[in-house]
Homo-oligomer: A and B are copies of this chain.
């Protein structure tokens, strides 16, 4: 921290930007977000440039910040071009371009020495030939760009199915991934300062429902943590990360971790770090991007998170959540819509047994 008041620009103004801003303000950091949605959650705690990402005046304002980061990687490439040389954008352009393109990301992961599921790039009709056999006969066809939360994906198990799945996805560039028999899904975030200093978040176990994260769990002494840190540190170094990125992994039955995908930013699975004690993933991204001192951010307590997702005709039992000891509510001030992430509840307890018992209760309170 320096004695002047640093100014951080953020591309995107959704809930991740909102929580980045809530973490930034106490650090003495002013925040400006560029976001076309007039009801962007971050408008409540940041200066909101209400304009398209490509807006020249908006980009000029971001160029006046001390550094620019993002909460949303699918920004048009001309945005990064427009900022280039004017203000540090962290993570930088090459890393972002890679992480928004599934095939390039997997190639770059393998180059950095991280294992992934087997995959075949599908860009032409000819690529379909023998593709399923090469990934192990069962696979998931995913668009190379713009997929998230299970969208733009289709499971396939024969050639005809692969053909029709690709047709349905509009024959855009895709990746066919081999279906991995995994035991668990885990994630871990890594931050790297402009000086190359590394720091890590905790290992977090994730449970998805309908392709969307439902529950995350942090427990002390996770057996996968050392391996995940080693992979994350290696990739962060190889890719020249400046900022924070989150790796999602498949944990195989024999103990090995495959990287599933990489988000070049804070991640839904890391929200539990807000309330487990100490620094959160949001503080860590702000610090890494502004070149402030970094240290591992690790909850001091067992903790968990359950997402609040809009569900037709159902609402959370708010009173029940409030009455359950150790819960902390985080709402994003977004309009309700089915399937939309509207908030999350963090849960902190003194010990693992209590955490598991209360987490079961909490899950019954959130449809």
Contacts and interface: CB of A to CB of B under 8 A. Distances in A.
Given A292-B322, A293-B322, A318-B3, A330 B300 contact: no
Contact of A331 (B22, B26, B275): B26
Q: How many copies does the complex hold?
A: 2
Given A45-B44, A292-B322, A295-B325, A348 B277 contact: yes
A272 to B, nearest CB: 13
Interface in A5-24: 5, 18, 21-22
A168 to B, nearest CB: 37
Nearest to A350: B300
Given A3-B315, A277-B301, A28 B350 contact: no
A343 interface: yes
Contacts of A293: 319, 322-323
A134 interface: no
A326 interface: yes
B3 A328 contact: no
A278 to B, nearest CB: 7
Nearest to A293: B322
A318 to B, nearest CB: 4
Nearest to A45: B45
A333 B25 contact: yes
A2 interface: yes
A27 B331 contact: yes
Given A1-B318, A25-B45, A300 B277 contact: yes
Interface string A292-304: 1101000011000
A6 B15 CA distance: 18
Nearest to A276: B277
B321 A1 contact: yes
B27 A329 contact: yes
A30 interface: yes
A28 to B, nearest CB: 4
Interface string A273-316: 00101110000000000001101000011000000000000011
Contacts of A330: 26
A1 B322 contact: yes
Contact of A300 (B301, B315, B321, B343): B301
Given A25-B22, A329-B26, A331-B28, A277 B279 contact: no
Contacts of A277: 275, 277, 300-301, 348
Contacts of A3: 315-316, 318
A315 to B, nearest CB: 5
A15 to B, nearest CB: 10
Interface of A: 1-3, 5, 18, 21-22, 25-28, 30, 44-45, 275, 277-279, 292-293, 295, 300-301, 315-316, 318-319, 321-323, 325-326, 328-331, 333, 343, 348, 350
16 contacts: A1-B322, A22-B22, A25-B45, A25-B333, A26-B330, A27-B329, A28-B329, A30-B44, A30-B333, A44-B45, A45-B45, A275-B277, A279-B328, A292-B322, A293-B319, A300-B301
Given A277-B348, A292-B322, 4 more contacts: A1-B319, A5-B333, A44-B45, A277-B301
